[in-house]
């Protein structure tokens, strides 16, 4: 691991000011993704700014009837909050389906959204990877590559990887927004829909966050009710990333929302697919995955997603 200087910030303004004056600085929250990548030499920040002292660890009610989740609220605390399990059970279900008890205790709301891909070649520093080393190529698109964990839609020639977060899939279905602060004092509320970016020719940028921009909170709009289910299909029963995951919110009148994990570089949802819900899983997936470019090793994800949604619709009915 490359040596780095270590700084503690005591409020958000101080954290962004520090980041602006230290080129190559990164924020560290739970550390469960950043430190892992630093050990492997995939990330090599010159400075770390510890944000755990910022006091952003509360969940408060908003005037609009929703919840404002401080970025430092742990995944465990968020999943266990009484208001979340009652009004946004999809979020509790998605968080509980991810990682392990130990990891969820440390993982934070902002850190979870910013975790990096689990593409095996991103992790293998001996292989070319445009996301890790822009312009080096994509080992996942060479003949014989392992494509099972990769994406089927929203990918590009430069990068085929998926976003691995479970929590983000629920937040996408719930229309959450990401609140940020920059060093010039500017604040943004970024809809989750436009927070993660598609790779295009620049897969090194996972999100629209600017250098030094701090996530301060995530906002949930007022509860939408309905039956809320999350189903994650993986290679073992627990403690594994999704091959495919499906988030469903189904209203008594048959309308609702669907978002997918494990298939794309971002939580995957389309309004025209939501609109097809009353016509069943096949109709939804036709629209949701229209334009998919499955690879030989991951084409199974399309029927798997369709069948998983069909099972959830049955359960929710």
Partner 1 sequence: MAIPHPVPFGPLARRAAFATPDAGRGAAPAEDPYRSSVTLTVNGTPHRLTLDNRTTLLDALREHLHLTGSKKGCDHGQCGACTCTVNGTRINTCLSLAVMHDGDRIETIEGLGSAQALSPMQQAFVARDGFQCGYCTPGQIQSACAVLEEIRANIPSHVTADLTAPVQITEAEIRERMSGNLCRCGAYANILAAIRDVAEAQA
Ligand X SMILES: Cc1cc2nc3c(=O)[nH]c(=O)nc-3n(C[C@H](O)[C@H](O)[C@H](O)COP(=O)(O)OP(=O)(O)OC[C@H]3O[C@@H](n4cnc5c(N)ncnc54)[C@H](O)[C@@H]3O)c2cc1C
Site string for partner 1, 112-131 (x = CB under 8 A): ------xxx--xx-------
| Shortest spacing between CB 144 and ligand X, in angstroms | 27
- Show the beta-strand stretches assigned E in the chain: 5-8, 25-28, 47-50, 59-61, 67-70, 177-181, 187-191, 214-220, 227-233, 244-250, 256-261
Integer distance in angstroms from the first to the last C-alpha of the chain? 52
Does position 42 interact with ligand SF4 (CB under 6 A)? The reply is no
Shortest reach from residue 233's CB to ligand SF4, in Å: 21
When asked if residue 139 is in the footprint of ligand SF4 (CB under 6 A), the reply is: yes
Q: Please, which residues have CB within 8 angstroms of residue 92's CB and are 6 or more apart in sequence?
A: 78, 79, 80, 84, 85
How many C-beta atoms surround the C-beta of residue 30 within 10 A?
22
Selected binder of partner 1 within 101, 225, 252, 282 (CB under 8 A):
101
> Taking the mean position of all CA atoms in its chain, how far away is CA 119?
14
Query: Residue 226 phi/psi, 5° resolution?
Result: 75, 175
Report whether 84 contacts 67 (CB < 8 A).
Answer: yes
Q: Which is nearer to partner 1, 4 or 300 (CB)?
A: 4
Using the minimum distance from each CB to partner 1, give the nearer residue, 124 or 286: 124
Question: Across the strands, what pairs with 167?
Answer: none
State which of residues 20, 106, 283, 297 lies at the interface with partner 1 (CB under 8 A): 106
Identify which range of 76-84, 90-98, 136-144, 183-191 contacts ligand SF4 by CB under 6 A: 136-144
Rounded to a whole number of angstroms, the minimum distance from the CB of residue 276 to partner 1 is 28
Regarding 121 and contact with ligand SF4 (CB under 6 A), the answer is yes
Long-range contacts of 252-259 (CB under 8 A, 24+ apart): 252/226, 254/278, 256/226, 257/173, 257/224, 258/173, 258/284, 258/288, 258/309, 259/169, 259/170, 259/172, 259/173
Of ligand SF4, partner 1, ligand X, none, which one does residue 193 interact with (CB within 5 to 8 Å by kind)? none
138 binds, among ligand SF4, partner 1, ligand X, none (CB under 5 to 8 A by kind): ligand SF4
- CA 305 and chain centroid, separation: 18
Question: Is the Cβ–Cβ distance between 282 and 267 less than 8 Å?
Answer: no
Would the CA dihedral through 37, 39, 42, 43 be positive or negative? positive
Q: Does 129 bind ligand SF4 (CB under 6 A)?
A: yes
Binding mask 142-161 for ligand SF4 (x = CB under 6 A): --------x--------xxx
Please say which residue, 143 or 271, places its beta carbon nearer to ligand SF4.
143
Q: What pairs with residue 50 in β-bridges? A: 8, 28
The helix/strand/coil state of 177 is: strand
| Stretch in the footprint of partner 1 (CB under 8 A) among 1-9, 63-71, 188-196, 264-272 | 1-9
- Kindly list the residues in this chain that would bind ligand X in the complex (CB under 6 A): 26-34, 36, 51, 71, 98-99, 103, 106-108, 110-112, 114-115, 164-167, 214-215, 241
Contact flags string 44-73 toward partner 1, x per CB under 8 A: ----x-x-x---------------------
Distance CA 173, CA 246 (A): 10
Contacts with partner 1, residue ranges (CB under 8 A): 1, 3-6, 28, 31-32, 35-36, 39-40, 48, 50, 52, 76, 79-80, 85-86, 89, 92-93, 96-97, 99-103, 105-106, 118-120, 123-124, 149, 235-241
């Amino acid at each position: 691991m490359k040596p780095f200087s270590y700084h503690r910030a005591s409020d958000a303004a101080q954290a962004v000011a520090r980041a602006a004056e230290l080129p190559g600085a990164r924020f560290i929250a739970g550390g469960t993704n950043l430190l892992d990548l630093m050990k492997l030499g995939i990330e090599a920040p010159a400075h770390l700014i510890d944000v755990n002292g910022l006091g952003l660890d509360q969940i408060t009610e908003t005037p609009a009837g929703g919840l404002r989740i401080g970025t430092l609220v742990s995944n465990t605390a968020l999943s266990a909050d009484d208001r979340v399990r009652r009004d946004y059970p999809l979020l509790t279900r998605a968080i509980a389906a991810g990682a392990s008890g130990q990891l969820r205790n440390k993982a934070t709301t902002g850190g979870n959204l910013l975790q990096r891909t689990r593409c095996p070649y991103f992790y293998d520093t001996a292989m070319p990877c445009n996301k890790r080393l822009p312009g080096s190529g994509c080992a996942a698109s060479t003949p014989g590559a392992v494509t099972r964990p990769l994406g089927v839609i929203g990918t590009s020639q430069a990068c085929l990887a998926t976003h691995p977060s479970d929590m983000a899939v629920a937040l996408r279905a719930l229309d959450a927004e990401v609140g940020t602060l920059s060093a010039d004092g500017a604040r943004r509320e970024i809809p989750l829909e436009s927070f993660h970016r598609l790779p295009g020719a620049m897969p090194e940028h996972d999100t629209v966050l600017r250098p030094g921009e701090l996530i301060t909170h995530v906002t949930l709009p007022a509860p939408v009710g309905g039956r809320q289910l999350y189903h994650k299909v993986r290679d073992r029963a627990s403690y594994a990333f999704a091959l495919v995951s499906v988030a469903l919110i189904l209203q008594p009148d048959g309308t609702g929302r669907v978002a997918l994990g494990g298939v794309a570089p971002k939580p995957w949802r389309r309004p025209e697919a939501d609109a097809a819900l009353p016509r069943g899983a096949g109709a939804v997936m036709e629209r949701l995955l229209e334009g998919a470019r499955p690879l030989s090793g991951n084409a199974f994800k399309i029927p798997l997603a369709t069948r998983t949604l069909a099972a959830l619709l049955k359960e929710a009915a």
